[in-house]
Amino acid sequence: MRLHSLILATSVGVPVIGFAYMPKVKAYMDSIGQTDHSLDLETITSEKLINLIEDIFKNYDTNSKKILSEVSKLQKVARESIVEMVELARR
Protein backbone atom coordinates (compact mmCIF):
# COMPACT_ATOMS: atom_id res chain seq x y z
CA MET A 1 0.00 0.00 0.00
CA ARG A 2 1.09 3.56 -0.52
CA LEU A 3 2.46 5.35 2.53
CA HIS A 4 -0.50 7.65 3.16
CA SER A 5 -2.89 4.72 2.94
CA LEU A 6 -0.81 2.92 5.55
CA ILE A 7 -0.83 5.98 7.82
CA LEU A 8 -4.60 6.45 7.55
CA ALA A 9 -5.38 2.77 8.12
CA THR A 10 -3.05 2.36 11.08
CA SER A 11 -4.25 5.58 12.70
CA VAL A 12 -7.53 3.78 13.38
CA GLY A 13 -5.91 0.43 14.20
CA VAL A 14 -6.39 -1.41 10.92
CA PRO A 15 -3.60 -3.97 10.40
CA VAL A 16 -1.82 -3.50 7.08
CA ILE A 17 0.81 -5.01 4.85
CA GLY A 18 3.34 -2.50 3.60
CA PHE A 19 4.94 -3.02 0.22
CA ALA A 20 8.31 -1.33 0.62
CA TYR A 21 8.47 0.41 -2.75
CA MET A 22 10.43 3.23 -1.05
CA PRO A 23 12.53 3.30 2.14
CA LYS A 24 9.95 5.57 3.81
CA VAL A 25 7.39 2.74 3.77
CA LYS A 26 9.73 0.34 5.54
CA ALA A 27 10.72 3.09 7.99
CA TYR A 28 7.07 3.76 8.84
CA MET A 29 6.29 0.07 9.28
CA ASP A 30 9.36 -0.27 11.54
CA SER A 31 8.28 2.78 13.57
CA ILE A 32 4.92 1.18 14.39
CA GLY A 33 6.41 -2.20 15.23
CA GLN A 34 5.18 -3.88 12.06
CA THR A 35 8.51 -4.83 10.49
CA ASP A 36 7.19 -8.35 9.90
CA HIS A 37 4.29 -6.92 7.90
CA SER A 38 6.54 -5.05 5.49
CA LEU A 39 7.45 -6.78 2.26
CA ASP A 40 10.30 -5.83 -0.04
CA LEU A 41 9.12 -5.74 -3.64
CA GLU A 42 12.24 -7.54 -4.82
CA THR A 43 11.79 -10.55 -2.52
CA ILE A 44 8.01 -10.83 -2.20
CA THR A 45 6.45 -14.19 -2.97
CA SER A 46 2.85 -15.27 -3.07
CA GLU A 47 3.55 -17.60 -0.15
CA LYS A 48 4.86 -14.74 2.03
CA LEU A 49 1.88 -12.57 1.14
CA ILE A 50 -0.65 -15.31 1.85
CA ASN A 51 1.01 -16.10 5.19
CA LEU A 52 0.88 -12.44 6.21
CA ILE A 53 -2.78 -12.12 5.24
CA GLU A 54 -3.62 -15.25 7.23
CA ASP A 55 -1.67 -13.93 10.23
CA ILE A 56 -3.49 -10.61 10.10
CA PHE A 57 -6.90 -12.26 10.09
CA LYS A 58 -5.95 -14.84 12.72
CA ASN A 59 -4.50 -12.24 15.11
CA TYR A 60 -6.53 -9.21 14.07
CA ASP A 61 -7.34 -7.91 17.55
CA THR A 62 -3.78 -8.36 18.84
CA ASN A 63 -2.29 -6.69 15.76
CA SER A 64 -4.80 -3.85 15.97
CA LYS A 65 -4.06 -3.13 19.64
CA LYS A 66 -0.31 -3.20 19.04
CA ILE A 67 -0.64 -0.79 16.11
CA LEU A 68 -2.84 1.61 18.07
CA SER A 69 -0.35 1.61 20.93
CA GLU A 70 2.59 2.41 18.66
CA VAL A 71 0.67 5.00 16.64
CA SER A 72 -0.38 6.79 19.83
CA LYS A 73 3.32 7.13 20.72
CA LEU A 74 4.01 8.72 17.34
CA GLN A 75 1.04 11.05 17.77
CA LYS A 76 2.38 12.16 21.15
CA VAL A 77 5.78 12.95 19.64
CA ALA A 78 4.07 14.89 16.82
CA ARG A 79 2.04 16.95 19.32
CA GLU A 80 5.15 17.72 21.35
CA SER A 81 6.95 18.84 18.19
CA ILE A 82 4.09 21.18 17.29
CA VAL A 83 4.14 22.72 20.78
CA GLU A 84 7.90 23.27 20.50
CA MET A 85 7.55 24.87 17.05
CA VAL A 86 4.87 27.26 18.30
CA GLU A 87 7.03 28.20 21.30
CA LEU A 88 10.02 28.87 19.03
CA ALA A 89 7.88 30.97 16.69
CA ARG A 90 6.75 33.16 19.58
CA ARG A 91 10.33 34.09 20.54
The rounded distance, in Å, linking the Cα atoms of 85 and 36 is: 34
Per residue of the chain (91 residues), give pLDDT as tens.
589 999 999 999 999 999 999 999 999 999 999 999 999 999 999 999 999 999 999 999 999 999 999 999 999 999 999 999 999 999 8
Each domain of the chain, given as residue ranges in start order, spans 3-90
Q: What is the pLDDT of residue 1?
A: 55
pTM: 0.85
Q: What is the pLDDT of residue 91?
A: 86
